A and B are shown apart, each in its own frame.
Chain A
């Protein structure tokens, strides 16, 4: 079938079935991957591709079905078995120790020794890894510590790690999720290099243009089943999208003009320090009007986290001012049809978080689990988190009103389609997408004037993503001012009315999302072209 190599099978999965309590994640999946090909597995979040790959990598055992590697039947009990059969995996979330060097991270767990378990043979490791590094053109300084590397570099470390363990079949799980276009190009070059050396690449993704660019064959999964395997030459994005979700892909688009000229958030000469005392935000000025979405584009680690933390109030401003419009009290659900609309901004630069929240500042955190929820608490207590001082959750800001809180939570569950047995179960029992829907819903049902949204659709499926986009648009049409941070450039371009580029703590460009392409945006995000080659 494949044009590369002799057509021997590197991987054959036959009738793989895997169920979790109440759910069939993989339903008799059949998949054949030829030696030396680049094969993409695509499907929307929840289609079962990650589970399938975890089965191939020995993390899960299938309930039934067979795995053949290079023609031999195998039974994996742990990733160790998979590695022994030449399978490597680069996970979506990197598994690296921050304070160790690249070299130490790569050999961790498979160290070469002078004297077994006593004396690590670093020079041998360095020589071998250096050879890999060079022959694959991966270009990584082995002596740097992990915390000094960019996302793209971290990914290459993970790739070397797999290659060092003898991987001939490499699984890349959504490798482009947090890369800018230029980094994606580099990754693709690395992948082609590996392909040229005869390695087999399994590429998991749901960005169809990327899938079409890199792969030779594409297998589409939907609802835990194999829908089709197609050759790249015989397909296009439209067909793939239809295979993936049964209809065309939703994209953020067509925003009606709702921007007013009334500023809702105004930031002047804001300086913020980072965790290590470095100046993370260096004097930014911007404003967001009512009914406007302003997107902040930037490679992660350029000050956007510190900026949003400072706006929220959990990080001090060193200098400068933040002003926001207080929401209209007594107005239902964000509607601003009010005769006496407030137009005066209040200075919140040194106001505590609680008061900012009461004034109508909403927050969708970038990392739901770490920053957004109380995992062991029931849904209704999670719904009130952030608004616990306000009605309907409490009376006089002191007495918790449980009945009303539960009602409000049930409203959120209905309106935002949170799939849950009830409002009383602990939130950790819900899937990530449903947790996120609650986290977004609890902000949207409140009277807000400004919403800080950091990666609002990270880790939720395509359908839910479209719903979130709609909700943001509806909220904005009602006069909400939204600050949007996202690693998904399509999301930024599709939703924002204006795009600000943040680079090393400065806002370096103010762009019109209607006229700029993702590629040009990427160039802005990484600085000038000359800077690109340095990464």
Chain B
């Protein structure tokens, strides 16, 4: 038991030191890039940190991290069973526009004291609509996979393209407002919007979106589902060894469908902070936030599909993304350098994780061999 604990500790220590080594290495490379581009790296990092500890900036970092987190969780569900849902991008866009339209058209007006529930119910309707639409859109890829064996990467890429065109058609024709030049859906009334969790005015104005709570619920639910429930075990088993999982009674068809539907439902929530959050616009418009689906893939990979790891990596990416604006403003460091840095950090980390996994596996094999040797058993052939 004792040696088990020290093992756990060692493996935990290995994980931390890998992350630190990866961050250090990427800082060195990033510094070189900053130097080459004519900036002082130390000054740049100081600027980032100085900005990053401001409360209003922290709110913004959190706000930015929420949809990234939810998006990465959606991707991670697929990864758990070796499904690559590239379609989060399209799923959240189409979920957002339909949820926006539903939210604008549906009003909740309960009588008397029940009136206090109007807001929550309205919000719930919008969220559930988004989840249902996301699930349905991802479900198409799932159905195609189990019926015709079409790879989900192909079908979700296609569905991304289709959803893009579909959105434009909806905006331009069906749900277009009377005013000719504005391409947006009708406005969601106040009752359908998420309240602010906190507000600050000093040193700058910022609100913290209460979507934070929803993101936390999603993370906890994911953790419980994947690690604590039997269907979650089935999902992971299928990801690790589909044939062994099948022999153990896991239906591949069912598991693929469930994984796609769950992934899509979570993906449906990605656009919600923008649509319902205190800072966003209460309607879907032609410059609605994009790329969250694709960035979610990187965040999921960086976070090793673990809910905690994903949270850290979402915060990290959001931190750099949010604070880097200061570099652009302060001196000559172009914003693009920051994008390059993010790319390099992800790259280095993925490589570092690969190595640490190898080290861990070798350690385990050595441990088992030692046990064998101690018990006086024969060597392997």
Contacts and interface: CB of A to CB of B under 8 A. Distances in A.
Contacts of A371: 243-244, 247
Contacts of B227: 400
B246 A425 contact: no
Given A22-B366, A374-B240, A399 B230 contact: yes
Interface in B99-145: none
Interface in A355-401: 355-358, 363, 365, 370-377, 381, 384-389, 394, 397-400
A358 B241 CA distance: 21
A419 B371 contact: yes
Contact of A385 (B1, B8, B244, B372): B244
A47 B378 contact: yes
B241 A374 contact: yes
A358 B370 CA distance: 37
Contact of A421 (B231, B250, B367, B381): B367
Contacts of A370: 241, 243-244
A22 B230 contact: no
A8 interface: no
Interface residues of A, number: 62
Interface in A1-45: 20-25, 44-45
A224 to B, nearest CB: 6
Nearest to A357: B249
A314 interface: yes
Interface in B1-57: 1, 3-4, 7-8
Interface string A44-57: 11111111000000
A21 B369 contact: yes
Given A22-B373, A23-B373, A399-B229, A46 B381 contact: yes
A429 interface: yes
Contacts of A45: 378, 381
Contact of A22 (B246, B372, B378): B372
Contact of B244 (A48, A372, A419, A461): A372
What is the interface residue range for chain B against chain A? 35 or more
B367 A314 contact: no
A419 B372 contact: yes
B83 to A, nearest CB: 17
A425 B243 contact: no
A161 to B, nearest CB: 23
A270 B21 CA distance: 60
A385 B237 contact: yes
Interface string B300-334: 00000000000000000000000000000000000
A51 B380 CA distance: 8
B interface majority secondary structure: helix
A345 interface: no
B1 to A, nearest CB: 8
A421 B237 contact: no
A514 to B, nearest CB: 33
Nearest to B230: A394
A317 B272 CA distance: 48
A23 B379 contact: yes
A373 B371 contact: no
A429 B367 contact: yes
Nearest to A23: B379
B223 interface: no
A23 B233 contact: no
B233 A461 contact: no
A237 interface: no
A49 B380 CA distance: 10
A425 B380 CA distance: 18
Contacts of A25: 379-381
B287 interface: no
Contact of B3 (A51, A365, A421): A421
Nearest to B357: A376
A420 interface: yes
B372 A431 contact: yes
Contact of A430 (B368, B370, B379): B368
B251 interface: yes
Contacts of B243: 370-371
B237 A374 contact: yes
A20 B228 CA distance: 37
A49 B381 contact: yes
A387 B245 CA distance: 11
A49 B373 CA distance: 18
A23 B378 CA distance: 8
Interface string B337-368: 00000000000000000000000010011111
Contact of B377 (A358, A419, A426): A419
B368 A354 contact: no
Q: Which of B3, B231, B249, B380 has most A Cβ within 10 Å?
A: B249
A353 interface: yes
Contacts of A375: 240-241
A415 to B, nearest CB: 16
A386 B248 contact: yes
A50 B378 CA distance: 13
B247 A312 contact: yes
A51 B381 CA distance: 6
A260 interface: no
A354 B250 contact: yes
A421 to B, nearest CB: 5
Contact of B380 (A20, A358, A381, A384): A20
B226 to A, nearest CB: 10
B375 interface: yes
Contacts of B371: 419-421
Q: Which of B246, B367, B378 has most A Cβ within 10 Å?
A: B378
A354 B251 contact: yes
A223 interface: yes
A154 B131 CA distance: 55
Nearest to A378: B364
B89 interface: no
A430 B367 CA distance: 9
B357 to A, nearest CB: 9
B361 A428 contact: yes
A429 B361 contact: yes
B152 interface: no
A249 to B, nearest CB: 16
A353 B361 contact: no
Given A48-B379, A431-B380, A23 B247 contact: no
A50 B366 CA distance: 20
Nearest to A26: B379
B274 interface: no
Given A365-B247, A375-B241, A21 B365 contact: yes
A424 interface: yes
28 contacts: A21-B369, A21-B370, A22-B370, A23-B369, A46-B380, A50-B381, A312-B247, A314-B246, A352-B251, A353-B250, A363-B247, A365-B244, A370-B241, A372-B247, A381-B237, A385-B244, A385-B245, A387-B248, A398-B229, A400-B229, A419-B371, A419-B375, A421-B368, A425-B367, A426-B361, A430-B368, A431-B368, A434-B372
Interface of B: 1, 3-4, 7-8, 227-234, 236-237, 240-241, 243-251, 361, 364-373, 375, 377-381
